[in-house]
A and B are shown apart, each in its own frame.
Chain A
Amino acid sequence: MSAAALLVAILAALGAAVAAALHDPVVLVGLLAALSAFAAAVAAGAAAVQLRAPNTLTEPRHPQGPSAPPPLPDDVLARRGAFGRLWWIAFAAFALAGLEPLISLGRMPRRNGTAWRGGARLVTPQGTPLRPDDLAVGGVTTVFPEGRVDAPESAVLLLRLQDGVMQLGPERRDWVQQGNVAFSKICTHAGCPVAIFRHLTYELYCPCHQSVFDVLHGAQPVSGPATRALPQLALDLDRDGYLVARGDFAEPVGPDSWWRTL
């Protein structure tokens, strides 16, 4: 039994190697390799059973208590004095000094910022600039500042709603251009892209932790674990009629941290 199984293991292993070298389908290579392993397991297992070795042999356990007598002469451990204490202080100093290179590895606080600047055109990921009429009402697309497609933390969702449905405070009235409104796409909870727009209820939905943001009220969180609105990008039109940003976001985008000041 054992020898037969081991023979199968040998043949299957060689077969798997040949099949892999000939670029046979993955499944064949994998099945042969698995067969080889299982056959070897059977060979070893059957051999173990055939031994009929008892599971009842005994040997003493060593007592594992404190060593006795004391392993070191008393005076080695007992030696104390100013010099000994100085060593502890020295070790503490070395550890403190070692902190400096460690701290230098990261900046504190981390500041990301985005690539948005006043007058930057809104472009699709393919780089096409957009006019207010390019999106159909109810439409949504991801935009970047022109020339900075893929810039970190700068992804923005451009939504087109019916003119006048937005219920924003007076200071944000002119951030909307002919129903076009823009919010940071980076979730304020854990940074995932808030990629889903439910146009019937005017909600943005994050697929990671199911935070829901109410677009009509400035993307305030209404459900899920997010606590802060998606920052809104103030929109304007340039002389050629393209949508542009009025400037960078007024608030930090993305997840919060200790040093976020607002």
Chain B
Amino acid sequence: MILRRVDRFFDERLGSDAWVRYVFAKLYPDHWSFYLGEFALYCFVMLVATGVWLTFVFQPSHAGAFASVIAFTRATPVGYLMRQVHHWSAVAFIAAIVVHLGRVFFTAAFRKPREITWVLGVLLLVTASVTGFTGYSLPDDTLSGTGLRIADAVLLSIPFIGGWAADLLNGGGYPGPLLIPHLYVIHVYFLPVTIGALLALHLGLVFYQKHTQFEPDPAHVVVGRRFWPDYTLRTLAVFFATAGVVTLLGALIEINPVENYGPYHDWLVTNPAAPDWYAAWLDGALRLGPAVEWRIFGHPVPAVFWPGMVLPTLAFLLVVAWPWIDKTITKRDEVGDVLVPPTAAPWRVGVGAALVTAGVVLTLAASDDQQAVGAHVRVTALVTLYRILFPFGSIAVGLIAALLAAELRASRAGRGAERERVVELVRNAEGGFDAREPHST
């Protein structure tokens, strides 16, 4: 009743009723894997909700940050939960984006006309990761401070402008007096607004171009569910499930116990020292990177530049450009509203599996010191192992995955052919049936 009156109020002023009806009756194709992106979206909702609360109790200065985090964490159960749920939502947010990206990749949902949506999604992953890292750094504890120091060294390593960029971020040398205030405004303002804008465009395109689907549609139709009430209830369930998962994790499993690390000084460090999971691949790359410092025109290019700056830039460019690389390989530039099962293109499965493996190897390398202790081997042996696995393990896994996908496709095709065999059933003398090829009489 109230909804009707609200609708009439706006309709009388804006003529919006037709549009509202269109939105509510719009169809959305349905598949369990389509909810991965929604899981990410609702993690972001949880991040904003808890993050806004945290801005009221956090003191964004080098002098006060750590103490204020400890104070509000200890003062009330709400404070502790807010920080826990915020951090868990952040790691879940990025995980959900990565899995969602995988779904889009393996089902070729990025094809024309959805390349823009893909690029926006990749930008969202990058922005979310940087937002995660800046937030992780805000408590100014020993562990995150060490991470900032490494980030500073990577910035510093950029030829020519590195020193300027690091100086800008720090507001002076390291650790600069403005580092925490800078990170704060970046974390609570610039990056979330960017994420909001990218999300709006990303979802706007999904709305405007309509979602892809698995059902083949030669006649260009969407096959799916109505937004209201069917899909609304489903997405509502996903939202509450997301909220439940991150709240449960926050309540039961302590994440980032900064009170155990202590406040940051540039001469103190934890052992081991490893970042949150989504940044681990970069830390692993720094560990595996060669110990070489080249000189260009007499200027040093530090060792961290290649694994810390060049590698992630290349990875980013590769992923952003994937729709066009795919187009070049498949020589296909038609509209692709219908998703393909991953096995339909074994080579793509191979490429995806290789990229995932490369990321997993680098991530594992980020805790090689702990593995060395656990396995009683030298850490240098693990570094050598991971240096070999990074290219060759990735290629091997990619090849195996491609072969498996091809095998799976072949067996599916076989079974499909069997299912489609049409036979004629004929009554026999015993009262049973005999199968005969049709039209063979």
Contacts and interface: CB of A to CB of B under 8 A. Distances in A.
Q: Give the size category of A's interface with B.
A: 35 or more
B250 interface: yes
Interface in B71-90: 76-78, 80-81, 84
Interface string B216-233: 010011111110011001
A34 interface: yes
A226 B291 contact: yes
Helix, strand, loop or mixed for chain A's interface? Answer: loop
A172 interface: no
Given A112-B173, A228-B293, A41 B27 contact: no
B237 interface: yes
Contacts of B160: 258
Interface string A101-138: 00101111111110000000000010000000000000
Contacts of B164: 103, 106-110
Interface in A182-199: 185-186, 189-193, 195-196
B24 to A, nearest CB: 13
B391 interface: no
A31 B248 contact: yes
A158 interface: no
A61 B247 contact: no
A79 B224 CA distance: 46
B312 to A, nearest CB: 15
Nearest to A56: B223
Contact of A110 (B30, B167, B221): B167
A164 interface: no
B302 interface: yes
B441 interface: no
B167 A108 contact: yes
B370 to A, nearest CB: 10
Given A60-B220, A256-B300, A227 B113 contact: no
B224 A60 contact: no
Given A29-B251, A108-B164, A225-B289, A208 B266 contact: no
Interface stretch (B123-131, B269-277, B323-331, B397-405): B269-277
Contacts of B229: 47, 51
Nearest to B284: A209
A255 interface: yes
B412 interface: no
Given A55-B30, A195-B271, A258-B301, A44 B226 contact: no
Contacts, number: 263
A108 B335 CA distance: 49
A257 interface: yes
Q: Give the size category of B's interface with A.
A: 35 or more
Given A44-B237, A107-B164, A53 B226 contact: yes
B168 interface: yes
Interface in A165-219: 185-186, 189-193, 195-196, 207-211
A112 B174 contact: yes
Contact of B230 (A48, A60, A62): A48
A105 B170 CA distance: 10
Given A31-B251, A41-B241, A209-B286, A190 B150 contact: yes
A223 interface: yes
Given A30-B247, A189-B303, 15 more contacts: A23-B77, A26-B80, A30-B81, A30-B250, A44-B233, A44-B237, A55-B225, A61-B210, A61-B222, A106-B164, A189-B286, A209-B283, A209-B286, A258-B299, A258-B301
8 contacts: A37-B243, A41-B238, A55-B225, A61-B337, A105-B168, A190-B154, A224-B291, A254-B174
Interface of A: 9, 19-20, 23-27, 29-31, 33-35, 37-38, 40-45, 47-48, 51, 53-64, 103, 105-113, 125, 142, 150, 152-153, 155, 185-186, 189-193, 195-196, 207-211, 221, 223-228, 254-260
- Top-8 shortest CB links A-B: A30-B251, A155-B267, A106-B168, A37-B244, A41-B240, A255-B153, A48-B233, A45-B237
